[in-house]
Structure 1
Amino acid sequence: MAGKLCLALGTGLCAFGIQRLELHSGGPLEGHTNAVTSVAFSPDSKRIVSGSYDKTVHIWDAETGAAFREPLEGHTNTVNSVTFSPDGRRIVSGSGDRTVCIWDAESGAALSKPLEVHTSAVLSVAFSPDGKRIVTGSYDKTVCIWDAETGAVLGEPLEGHTNTVNSVAFSPDGKTIVSGSKDKTVHIWDADTAVVLKEPLEGHTDWVESAVFSPDGKRIVSGSYDKTVRIWDAETGAAHREPLEGHTGWVNSVAFSPDGNRIVSGSHDRTVCIWDVETGVAVRKVLEGHTKSVTSVAFSPDGKRIVSGSYDKTVCIWDSESGAALKEPLEGHTNVVTSVAFSPDGKRIVSGSYDNTLCIWDAESGAALREPLKGHTNRVTSVVFSLDGKMIASGSGDKTVRIWDAKTGAAISKVLEGHTNWVNSVVFSPDSNRIVSGSRDNTVRIWDAKSGAALREPLEGHTDQVNSVAFSPDGKTIVSGSHDRTVRIWDAETGASLYELLEGHTNQVTLVTFSPYARYIFF
């Protein structure tokens, strides 16, 4: 099948690794003759660039779907990565042919001959924030920096990694570059001189899966299968003291605090750790309370508290400043905690469990605000607060959706019945007036949040279970992702399918969500 890019306009959609694009006003963007490997919007969102196994780069009008010109030809192997410059005037592409190409985004003309330095496939490309340089990472274990205007390589390839370079990124100020590798190290490079600032950031004894800058660009945090968290000085490359040790199992989850001053980590070793980013030391000793693997951790909206859920059937709330547990583990569930969520104001937490109940907790004190909410006759799979904080919706293996008063815990309406299999996902509309649910019965349903009445017939089209559903920020459209490997977009008022089936995934779609301005959908 010819490669097709996937993007829906009106609501907008941007997807990764897909092969089909449906426009609100037209058909799929056809032109590639093989799988599409990479897509990116221009900074003004007016154009799209795509790369493909067919060795070409295409530029499209994001409004009409029309191709700007003939395919950009020059690569002799798969185009692995494409992106626009910050000003939208140029495009850079990296290929399995070991080259990098720079193109004029307006005319499609190559601005130079293919840039040849790498000795193996180019895996990723990125512009510096000012658009003057390009950084590339390759299977050849090197990083290269290029002059984005002339195409000249700025110095020799940056050598030091002893295995594939998985990722490269510029710091927010464009002065340094960070790279992470299968060789278990992180490198920091001076983006101006093209020299490594320090010796390789060594310490991890297993793969470095990711390396990112802190919000202010001054720190780098890395996590590894070696059970440690490491913080590095982005300016000097120096490690902030010894590795952050305390976990005795691999780290499942890490997060920065909203102000970027702390890191929280949850581990298979059943613990939560809070780390001071400045000093690189634990704010407190390992936070013990869970007796089984910690599945997830999150900061409250104000950054003052942390909530964690676990296979041990409990929820824990921690003071993010002191690291102290605000209470003993929150007990009430008699089976695995499957889902936790803060209320919009951060004052309450709701949790759902395999024990068929919901619990509402005071996020400040950790106290249960009432008895567990009972009604479901099978495990609770999904819980969510309405955006006004007044209601909670829950989906269950009992095939129903229930709506609860978030203050009293009372059921607000009749049981929402109609699905013929497990309800996997529930979410409120932005105005809190409607609920959308996705089910193992392959359908999506829309409900009146006040009365519990179904607003229309089930939305049919998926050929396997619906794993995730979401409203657009304006509440006008719904997106659903399914085990059938597809995404569908629906009109939230009429229930009509707005777009053709979005195909291209080679496995089930487990999560879908809109961007804040509803221009894109990520899945």
Structure 2
Amino acid sequence: MCNAEHISNKRTNFIVEKLLFSVLIIGLSTSLLALNTLAQDYTQWGLPAGAKARLGKGAIREIAFSPDGKQFAIASSIGIWIHDAQSTEALNFLTGHTGTVRSVAYSDDGLILASGSEDNTIRLWDARTGTHIRTLTGHLSSVNDIVFSPDSNTLASGSNDSNVRIWDVRTGTSLLTLTGHSRIVSGVVFSPDGKTLASASWDQTVRIWDVSSGKPIQTLAGHTKHLLTVDFSPDGNTIASGSWDRTVRIWDAKTGKHLRSLTGHKGGGVMNVKFNPVYSSILISTGAWDGTIRINDIQTETHLWTLKGHQPGGVLIAAFSPDGKMLLSGSFDGTLCLWNLEIDEPIQRLTGYSNKVDSVTFSPDGNLLASGGGTDKTVQLWQADTYTLLKSLIGHTWEVNCVVFNPDGKIIASADNDNIVHFWNVQSGSQIRTLPKHKDGISCIAFSPDGRIIASGSWDNTIRFWDVETGEALHELTEHTDRVSSVVYSSDGKMLASGSWDDTIYLWDVQRYKPIRVLSEHTHNVGSLAYSPDNKTLASGSWDKTVRLWDVHTGELLWTFMGHTNSINSLDFSPDGKALVSGSSDGTVLVWKLTHGTVN
């Protein structure tokens, strides 16, 4: 469960009188029991051509509540998810962007949802139906933040191109380009009256702009590292900014005077600042690495308390509900927490989001899927036919790079950046043992078909063969010129395929430890390989975002699959050869339906 730590016993009237929503707690506690059954629904939404299902919702980037508080939208690495705020049920999934969605915002009238993406575009959607209305183009780089004006007629956006743009929502026309920042614009926010706009930048400043003319009014300087976030108080009198210097600065919005600085976050920077929409003095800030949310009363200069529940590694974003009674936070660990501030505990934790998936594999009987990767440092076991999460295997101290079943399906081997191979009992989920350390990070492992040997690929550009029972190193291959990212045996045990960051795939004669041929069609790092059950086809996944199928005998390229929005890190065929799963850094697993090695 998520937990919270009191910093002060003092309770403000804001807390005692206003944060009472036990009815909401009851509704959420009961409705969240249905999340696993809902998983079968959302796994089918918005699939690319040829895909059968998706496990995971991608990595969380931003959260926004609808103005009526009935829904919230989540920007993720693969699209925009819409959830019911009371039941937390996933209602819709909006796709169309070709890059990670970094920002989402509802218009104040609740009719339009906007999304900004790393594909340099902004998309406008009908907030009720999810229908795409139009796409706004003009930025030359990633769109990091977007915000509607209070009257919903205009939209502001901040980009990696160092510019702020003002858009006409009705026509999609770019009205103004605000220039002046010298580095990335990370945050934008309108004043409550809509007359001014504040922008935060990596140039360590906040700039205040006149919205009608687009001219700068003043520049707020004082942070010592780049800024990540900015917000106006509801009364318009105060601006808060958060920086990589680990401080929150409070400014007078009219004069630009620095009023005070808030400290307390440890490690990284302040990722997000948000004023409570009802109480102008209440401000929350989220930490980049300490995994905490700090709540402050800026009027009394009192730190009220700290919410702890996300794993260290960073709370990316947080959002108040429109009535100021609920807080939703999202983290690098792939979780969302709904907080009950009255009792300093979350209402519930929402799962299904993931920072990334580095490895995925079927069990030999096809009944289970195992996946690993991301900041949660776990191996996850799924029911293959229902896509239901069964258990998480905990014990790694670093991100899990690779996961594989032994031939009888009773043991899982997994490896991480700490150079250790872990062995797990599938039935109990307990750890059995570990192998001696590789001399550098282990990026991939594979059991021989008889289960007696494990091959490991390393960041030191080599492939090593180990005796599973004794842990003895048997042989080493040194032909690759960059780190080895994938190794896989053919089912007859005669061949081994290896993929590397040198963009090549080697096919090896295992008995003689000699290369047979080299496949070199990928245009970026090869991340994963898998043999089909009949050994006739090899699948490869790459950082070029494609999955390719090869004829093993001739080396001919048979097919190229496209659908992921980031690098492909893991692949596996189902035992009958009719399905192929691919795990990606976009935080999802795609299941591809195959017939004779091609898409059905």
Q: TM-score scaled to structure 1, two decimals?
A: 0.48
Which structure dedicates a bigger proportion of its chain to helix? Answer: 2
Which structure dedicates a bigger proportion of its chain to strand? Answer: 2
Of structures 1 and 2, the one with the larger relative CO (CA 8 A, separation 6+) is 2
